[in-house]
Amino acid sequence: MFELGLQAIYSGVLTGGYYALVALGLALVFGTMRVINLAHGELVLLAAYVAYSAEVHLAISPIAAIPLSLVVVSLVAVLVYVLLSHITRDRELNSLILTYGLGIVLTNLMLLIWSADIRSTTATWFQEGAVLGDTLYSSRSEVIFFLVSLVLVAGLWFWLTRSWHGRAVRAVSSNRDAAMLMGVNPRTTEVLSFLVAGLLATFAGIALYTGKTIDPPLGHALTIKAFIITVLAGMGSIPGVLLGAMLIGITEALTISFVSTSLQDLAGMVLFLAVLLLRPQGLFGFGTRRG
């Protein structure tokens, strides 16, 4: 019982690293543009599919496919931004509907290109076991991308707080007009944040492809997961995303171990609703978003 619980928590933490990768891009774009990109999960999935094609047609490993995925996903991310920037009225709600529509387009595009079949990598090396201290099991992919996730979260945090560009991104998110007066071009920083979101989505996609199976409807599920984590974190909190992601990961893993596999998603959603209703500013966030 105890060992099962320990294993569940370990798996949950590792899964949380991957979830953080999925959610960070969404949180970042929300932080800069106050826009929730409902096509974000589809970007993650797109990266995975590009890696799949690279593996099949170019016979390269998913890791080697990262640059290719990055180019494709970044292009699509910028396209999403360009379309979003054409919204003039009711920006909050219209941008939701627009990105929702783009999500549908991307899902069906992937369905048309890669069919509804379930795909997974042939590089089985990633799925082989990695044992920690004789008792805790996981796959290599999980461990690798957990570490990648930690590095990227730290990097993103460092970038946002220390670098000029990152500070500009934060300045734009808190006050667009003031940022402009300080010589920051909001458009540049917004494109930048979409590009960084694309980068994060790419790594999430490769983590997904090396560790799990993919099919077209998955993108939508990933968007929901990313949003749930972002809310748990408190919208706009980067370290909160990592903690929120791990919380979801652990909750799901414990549910799988002790209740039932099919209730995995339910546990996350119930946790999400509880937080939303009891502590709408998020678990790790400050301030309020009451209307």
Q: Does 289 interact with other proteins (rule: CB under 8 A)?
A: yes
Which two tokens mark 101? Answer: 């529509």
C-beta closer to other proteins: residue 126 or 227: 227
CA–CA dist 21, 211 (Å, integer): 14
Q: Does 58 interact with other proteins (rule: CB under 8 A)?
A: no
Alpha carbon distance, N-terminus to C-terminus of the chain: 45
Contacts of 193 (CB under 8 A, 6+ apart): 28, 29, 31, 32, 33, 169
Strand partners, 214: 119
Mask of contacts with other proteins, 237-256, x by CB under 8 A? --------------------
C-beta closer to other proteins: residue 156 or 235: 235
C-beta closer to other proteins: residue 65 or 267: 267
Of positions 86, 117, 124, 131, contacts other proteins by CB under 8 A: 86
Q: Tell me the closest approach of the beta carbon of residue 106 to other proteins, in angstroms.
A: 8
Q: Does 263 interact with other proteins (rule: CB under 8 A)?
A: yes
CA–CA dist 16, 96 (Å, integer): 26
CA–CA–CA angle 234, 34, 100 (5° rounding): 100
- The helix or strand, by DSSP H or E, that contains position 131, with its residue range, turns out to be strand 129-132
Q: Does 109 interact with other proteins (rule: CB under 8 A)?
A: yes
Question: What does the binding site for other proteins look like in residue numbers (CB under 8 A)?
Answer: 36, 83, 86-87, 89-90, 92-94, 96-98, 100-109, 111-112, 115-116, 220, 224, 227-228, 231, 260, 262-263, 265-266, 269-270, 272-273, 276-277, 280, 289-291
